[in-house]
Amino acid sequence: MTSIDTILLNRGVHLRGAPRWLFLEYTVLYMFRGISATQYKQKIRKHIELEHIMDIKADILNNGYLMKNVKLWLFAKANGEKGDFQIKKEDLPLASLLKVPKVRALLLRLGKKYKAFRLAHFDKVTDAVLSKLNRVGYIDKFVNRKMKFIRNAQSLETSDIALDIVCESLGSLYHWYPCYDNQLHFMNLFKKFIHNYGINYIKTYTTDKRSRIQKNKDGTFFNNTSDLSVAIYDESNVENLSTNFRGDVTDSTDLRLGVNQVMKSLSDKRRRFVQLLMGMPDEGFTEFLLASGIKLSNEDLLDKCLKKGNIDKYVRLSLKYLNVSSGAGERFLESLRLSFKEYSVNA
């Protein structure tokens, strides 16, 4: 019984004969991204009840031994490479999947473009990249800058969140194997996965279907189910909004209350525009910037524009991304300024 079979059994699923081998085939194809998650679910639901599929898929992706050791071993073996991959005896029969036409064709095709890693070398490269990211403080800076409100609300240390992000990002890195062009590509993918998982981590605290974290007047945080995204209570976002709209007002408590009142009345597109101006991470806008030749995330671009006193550039790009005319954008900005000013007078 292989490690993949054990995952099935732990979920109360028993497959034998042809259905079992088909499941193993589809699983290996999915592990090497030869089929999408949707295709994988469609294929295995013929043999497995729908209620178990998501759990089984997650169990496979979260199994470091399968996603690293077994993948490295199968890819190396398919392409004539040898090495010690610390494969369990019960998993040796998985090598027979290399005779399956679709599996063999996929691994040989990948082998023409990407090299096979030995386990020791893969671990060495991973450690080197992670050490470099730690030296420059990439992960800690991300956590402290983007996730301060979560850290404070949950009484977590930066290292606690950073470790969670690294573990999840490693899983994505394993799933991507062997598609690394070089060590720089390896590191860039790692950074991408760290960023993506971090954003998803934030979304678990800010989407409408989940509990929100808000900030009290005394600076402490609490969970609530407000209509307003929690990210506007991040101090850096408040400063960004103050710089953009309320340069004459310095009281961040008043500003947070004003933002709360104004944001509740906005349409989805206008609210998103304000969120962009607050520096909230936006993967779609960042991709738009990259396509426009700007190799910065939207939040980094905002910081750069604020430092250079060129916020107009960021505003223009935001409006273009949202497909809003400059005239309509200017009128909306003016209405925001008036709204905040009015709130400040009445507060």
pLDDT at 95 over 90: yes
Specify the pLDDT at position 147.
73
Is pLDDT above 50 for 213?
A: no
For residue 39, the tally of other CB atoms under 10 A from its CB is 13
Who has greater pLDDT, 135 or 66?
66
- The residues with which 222 forms a beta bridge, in sequence order, are 214
* pLDDT attached to residue 112: 95
Identify the band that residue 195 occupies on the pLDDT scale cut at 50, 70 and 90: confident
Average pLDDT, the chain: 78
Note the pLDDT tens digit of each residue in 11-43: 899 999 999 999 999 999 999 999 998 899 999
* 114-157 confidence digits (pLDDT tens): 999 999 999 999 988 888 888 878 888 878 777 776 666 666 67
- Which has more pLDDT, 210 or 200? 200
pLDDT band at 345 (very low <50, low <70, confident <90, very high): very low
Cα–Cα distance measured from residue 166 to residue 289, given in angstroms and rounded to the nearest whole number: 26
Asked if residue 246 has pLDDT above 60, the reply is: no
3-class SS string, the chain: CCHHHHHHHHCCCCCCHHHHHHHHHHHHHHHCCCCCHHHHHHHHCCCCCHHHHHHHHHHHHCCHHHHHHHHHHHHHHHCCCCCCCCCCHHHHHHHHHHHCHHHHHHHHHHHHHCCCCCHHHHHHHHHHHHHHHHHCCHHHHHHHHHCHHHHHHCCCCHHHHHHHHHHHHHHHHHHHCCCCCCHHHHHHHHHHHHHHHHHHHHHCCCCCCCCEEEECCCCCEEEECCCCCHHHHCHHHHHHHHHHHCCCCCCHHHHHHHHHHHHCCCCHHHHHHHHHHCCCCCHHHHHHHHHCCCCCCHHHHHHHHHHHCCHHHHHHHHHHHCCCCHHHHHHHHHHHHHHHHHHHHHC
Q: Give the lowest-confidence range in 147-161, 209-223, 249-263, 326-340.
A: 209-223
Q: How confident is the model at residue 280 (pLDDT cuts 50, 70, 90)?
A: confident
Structure tokens given for 167:
């573990």
